Amino acid sequence: MAPLKTLINGARGRMGQTLVACARENPALRVTAEVDVGDDLQTAVALCDAVVDFSHHSIVELVLARCVEHRKTLVIGTTGHTDLQMAAIRHAAQSIPIVCAPNFSVGVNTLFWLTRKAAEILGPSFDLEVVEMHHRLKKDSPSGTAKRLAEILAEARGWSYNDDTRHGRHGIVGERTNREIGVHAIRGGDVVGDHTVLFAANGERVELTHKASNRETFAQGALRAALWAHTQPAGLYDMQDVLGLR
Ligand code: NAD
């Protein structure tokens, strides 16, 4: 089979460069365009089979429009989307296959699965907190992965992410309520991405932790997602679908 003609958007960034390097080692793919600020996205999209976007969430509508116009497969790796941008992604997925995931690593997707299971097994007497740490240059907070972990906890409890999360604590905040998921973002150094989910009850505590030590794990997962999505009908998928964890 001919290699998948792949466009990397955000190609000069940390993830973009890792994606280009990983794709070079993978005979199933060929990078046909490395696009970044100022480059001609429109022409490059027309000439590829699939777009892998790790640029910035603020341009997701533009990337969606180009991919829908030319009927291309799209992998969205950016994080920090607004509710309106998420609605645009769902709408575009009616016409093209899209994989959108806050984290493409196999380990973190296992953590997602374990978090749901642990929340179900441990039940409502455990307090829920999510802690993440990333390098000092990360722009959005909390991380997309921490947000997804909190969403999974909220789903398991029948709560809502928007109403029942508490981002950091400062000052005389009063006692912790039973209905809250604490979310805490630490920034510093060159940390690629650490996430811990805490389940704390009287007398015992469970902690689930994932630590990424390089970006290759995300890049390999995103390329795998592009190859997988290109064989799928239009729809919105995430890494749980790609890995068959549903
Ligand atoms: P980065 O700042 O190093 O790279 C982003 C690149 O996008 C830069 O080269 C920038 O010039 C480019 N860019 C910005 N606006 C653009 C535009 N309009 N058109 C084309 N290119 C544009 O950031 P990064 O660390 O590589 O992360 C990029 C994104 O990927 C972030 O949203 C981050 O949260 C996300 N991320 C996701 C995963 C995952 O597994 N889903 C993993 C790591 C990072």
The domain that holds 225 is classified in CATH as 3.40.50.720
Instruction: Supply the residue whose CA is at minimum distance from atom 1 of ligand 1.
Output: 13
pLDDT digits (tens, 9 = 90+) for 59-86: 999 999 999 999 999 999 999 999 999 9
pLDDT digits (tens, 9 = 90+) for 206-242: 999 999 999 999 999 999 999 999 999 999 999 999 9
Q: What is the mean pLDDT of residues 35-62?
A: 98
Are residue 220 and residue 176 in the same domain, yes or no?
A: no
**By CB neighbour count within 10 A (0-12 exposed, 13-18 middle, 19+ buried), where does 4 fall?**
buried
Do 7 and 48 form a contact (C-beta atoms < 8 A)?
yes
The whole-model pTM stands at 0.89
- 57, 73: one domain: yes
Identified catalytic residue from 134, 147, 184, 195: 134
Q: Are residues 135 and 67 in the same domain?
A: no
Contact 71, 28 (CB under 8 A): no
Output the ligand 1 site: residues, CB below 6 A. Answer: 9-10, 12-16, 35-37, 54-57, 59, 77-80, 101-104, 140, 218
**Does one domain contain both 89 and 117?**
no
Tell me the residue range of the domain where 49 lies: 4-104+215-242
- My answer on whether 142 and 66 are in the same domain is no
pLDDT, residue 30, reads: 98
Specify whether 117 is catalytic.
Answer: no
CA distance 214 to 108: 13
Rounded average pLDDT over 84-94? 98
The C-alpha atoms of residue 103 and residue 109 are separated, in whole angstroms, by 7
Q: Whole-angstrom Cα distance, residue 209 to residue 149?
A: 11
Instruction: Pick the residue whose CA is nearest to atom 33 on ligand 1.
Output: 78
Residue 162 belongs to a domain with what CATH number?
A: 3.30.360.10
